[in-house]
Structure 1
Amino acid sequence: MSGSGKESFDADELGTYYIYLQDENCSETKKLRVKAPPKPPCKAYGDLDDDGYVSKKDVELLVKYIYGFVTLTEEQKRRADVNADGTIDWEDAKLLEQFVLGEIDTFPVCELIVLTSDSPFFVQVEDPDGVLTEEDEWWYSNRSRGDASPRIIMRVRGSSLKFTIKQGRGWNALTVEGSSDLESWEMLYEEEPIEGGGEWVEEKEVVVDIENYDFVRFTLTDGDQTNEWLRLSKRMFVRDKQPLPLCEWLPSSITSMDIAELVLAFNGIKDLGFVVLRKDIEGVAKLYKGEEFDCGW
């Protein structure tokens, strides 16, 4: 190209390109580095065209879908819902673009956990009076006078945990504690009951610092009346989510000796560096038999 104007070229290969500029007075060489787009942060989310990367092409494909110009397969729709709200819209497109530009390094869906009773993050419920109910989206406590407050224990690793509580009018309280061994607990958050005509909020989002803890315990204390109840959301988001210790421990090929080690650790005879639950032994036994098991990562 000579004179002024614009010129473009396709950088078909990754690497460094050198552009040589010269006029009658001087010359200059510009260096342009072309690198691969980022890979999906988890489970192929954002990679709509299935090329192994999250790129501008994925953003363009999603925008075309939102406008109704193209259709997506069910798998593409799963990968496109990067904010995990069940809807594919401009919020997802914005997150895709931010990820491609390097403004964010993960998607909300990668930080999502769903605390169902069959989830790898679920440990146990302590509910001697049977006042806790597992609903589709919530854990629901509805006590009568004199009933014990139910507790839910989960295991999770990350820097912070975000969840939602929903409460009926009246007297409600919530405590959140952290532990590394399921024996000693430290208070992380306390939601005091509203007294003296204070402001009542039906639904509230809570963020708790969980760094350096492997277990979190929720204690739900609702009032004694029918309009006093408390719900804890099953959908929670873990910032800087890390694999559970079992996931890190799992060998590439499971043997009977691995299961034996877990049994010894479960009974306190051997130390594997983390708390082993019965469900861990059962899950690894499934892997040994060739069945599927989700360790939480």
Structure 2
Amino acid sequence: MGRSFEQYQKQKLISSYFSVVLSIGLVLFLLGVLGLLVINTKKMADHFKEQITVSIFLKDEAKDSETDQLRKTLAMAEHTKSATYVSKEEAAEKHSAEIGEDFQDFLGYNPLKNSIDLQLHANYVTPEEIELIAADLSEKSYVEEVSYDKPLVGLLSENVKRISFWILVASGIFTFIAFLLINSSIRLSIYSKRFIIKTMQMVGATKTFIRLPFIWTNVKLGMLGAIMAMLALGATLFYMDETFPELMLFEDLEMLAVVFSSVFLLGILISLVCTYFATQRFLNLRTDELYY
């Protein structure tokens, strides 16, 4: 009978520990995902910004030397990610492939212009910067027109600012919620041992002596939960990298190390703080208050 009760108590203890580890792991995983999202918001925004093309259409009388010189100058400029020359013939082939028929047969000639497709580094994809670049290029005598999607550039810049702000707000709120959830799990775990705490206190044990085993136990549980969260984060990162390789999620290893280290340290810190205050609460209660 005694062995059966002992086994039941051990199973109950393991179940309690498992629920604490699981709750800490899930909360830290979600917190880590949010951290990765915050870090990669700029990277994702930069990726979309750098897909915007500024088309520089050249006049028919533009000399090959002028065109080649412009392309080389643009390629060397600090704002340029790539500068690609597109002949009117290549543009016609591409347009015909898109519409599914050769428009030159209908028109009898090729109305398109030779052009240079310019893609900028993300920092320069703002309405003000592109406007300055376009104005400078338009002044050249052999450039007929500089074209880009102005509404899209404005909308992209505005949305990036708005999304970044709300992600930061959500991060703050979620960190607070994470603390509350982990605190609740640990307090429930310690609540079941409140009579043991009070018994130890009544036989003369100091508060520090009583508190330390609980803190150490829950810090270890916090570590296990953090490791679980880190493994889940790693798996998620590998999956995302395989699905969206253009995001280059493993390019900035230092920032990833910061996120993973933060998750681990948060698991320890939150467990330590929550355990301290939970045990302190029961240590300060009178014996008759333990029943409420």
Pairwise same-fold verdict (TM > 0.5): no
More helix by share: 2
Larger relative contact order, structure 1 or 2 (CA cutoff 8 Å, min sep 6): 2
**So what's the TM-score if we normalise by structure 2?**
0.18
Which one has the largest radius of gyration?
A: 2
More strand by share: 1
**So what's the TM-score if we normalise by structure 1?**
0.18
